[in-house]
Amino acid sequence: MTSRFLTGVLSAATAASLVVTLTACGGTTKNDSSSAGSGGAQSTAQADPNAATKEGVKMAFLPKQLNNPYSDIEVGGGKTALDELKGEYKLVGPNDASASSQVSYINTLIQQQQDVIGIAANDPNAVCPSLNQARSSGIKVVAFDSDAAKDCRDVFINQATTEGIGEQLAKMASELAGGSGEIAILSATPNATNQNAWIEVFKQQLAKPEYANLKLVKVAYGNDDDQKSFQEAQGLLQSYPNLKAIVAPTTVGIAAAARYISSSAYKGKVAVTGLGTPNQMREYVKDGTVTKFALWNPADIGYLAAYAGVALASNQITGVEGQKFKAGKLGEYTIGKDGEIVLGPPTVFDASNIDQYNF
């Protein structure tokens, strides 16, 4: 009996692979398939910048994952904007940030006939077929924070450009080090894409004449682990006693470095700066360990996404480069290349403004 079972299984497997091989007409490999992307619906409609702003626009936000403090603030900004615009705000999303978990939510939003979907894509391609189905049924798609493939959304709200962040980091490091001396970077992991891009710009900036007296002595990695980052900060000060500033372009790293410095003899002598959230850094700003640091304001990302979404739904813009629209308190924005809208330079937080922010 079991041997019959065995042969059954084997023949089934063989048959399956045969079918697969036979249905294939020749070998399709990566090189001969020019089918990357899925050729999204290109907007053919003309934009009318003077069109009236529609009221009652139904916009749904689909962050990477629900109940994440960061994305809660982002979509909170979206809600503020939709209240201003008299639109209908909705928030949906998966519990996990895996690649394809957003797809069934997009499908649901299509069924519910939303006007705009604002999405922070977990995987730029996995959401593509669904987003294009949404677009072909007349829904506008605004990617924010984390882009979807560019042929399946109308616009992308980028929190900041890589250049903008790298330049801001170099500027703060130079100011805090007094224009000269040794500085070090405390990053996340050696292969974190965005961190490395910022560090690359940072290094290019240091080659400029105005930063000639700054010396980058080391890039350390705390793996975005609090304890490891703490130890790395400690290690940097032991190896480089003349260090003027630690620049941590990661929220975990900057908080760990600040915590170490605030409780050590280096407080007031070695500056800590980089990218962090106001709530995390407030006590170190108050106790004088940290003078200034930067981050984009996540609420503004959602706010801008909602204004862009309503502008799309009102047909004031279609997502083509050079089109302009107004975004409430943030002022006027122009759509850049590939439908990208950059929020602006990162916000710099210091003792004078930190209490205005709660995230």
Partner 1 sequence: MSDKGNRPAWLSRLASWDAAVIVITVVVLLIASGAVENFGSSRNFTFLLLDLLPIALIALPMTFVIVTGEIDLSVASTLGLTSAVMGDLWNRGLSIETIIPLCLVLGAVLGALNGFFVTVLKLPSLAVTIGTLALYRGLAFVVLGDSAVADFPRSYTSWVTGTIDGGPIPNVLIPLVVLAVVFGLALHATPVGRAVFAAGAGEQAARFAGIRVGRLKFWLYVVSGLIAGLAGVLWTLRYSSARADNGLGMELAVVAAVLLGGVSIFGGKGTLPGVLAGVVLLATLQNALRLQDVSNEALNVVTGVLLIISVLLPNIITKSRAAVQRRRKRSLASPTPESGALAGVK
Residues within the interface to partner 1 (CB under 8 A): 1-2, 4-6, 8-9, 12-13, 16-17, 20-21, 24, 26-31, 33, 35-38, 66, 90, 92-96, 98-100, 103-105, 107-108, 110-113, 123-126, 128-129, 149
Q: How far is the CB of 351 from partner 1 (least distance, A)?
A: 37
Q: How far is the CB of 139 from partner 1 (least distance, A)?
A: 13
Give 5 or 356: the residue with its C-beta nearer to partner 1.
Answer: 5
Residue type at position 15: A
Please name which of 130, 126, 78, 84 lies closest in space to residue 109, comparing C-alpha atoms.
130
Give 38 or 262: the residue with its C-beta nearer to partner 1.
Answer: 38
Distance CA(194)–CA(250), nearest Å, equals: 10
Whether the Cβ atoms of residue 118 and residue 71 lie closer than 8 Å to each other = no
Distance CA(220)–CA(317), nearest Å, equals: 44
DSSP string, 129-161: HHHHHHHHTT-EEEEESSPPPGGG-SEEEES--
Give 18 or 212: the residue with its C-beta nearer to partner 1.
Answer: 18
Q: How far is the CB of 111 from partner 1 (least distance, A)?
A: 4
**Full strand arrangement of the beta sheet holding 340-342:** 88-91, 58-62, 116-119, 140-144, 155-158, 340-342
Whether the Cβ atoms of residue 354 and residue 283 lie closer than 8 Å to each other = no
Three-state SS at 321: coil
Q: How far is the CB of 84 from partner 1 (least distance, A)?
A: 23
Q: How far is the CB of 82 from partner 1 (least distance, A)?
A: 16
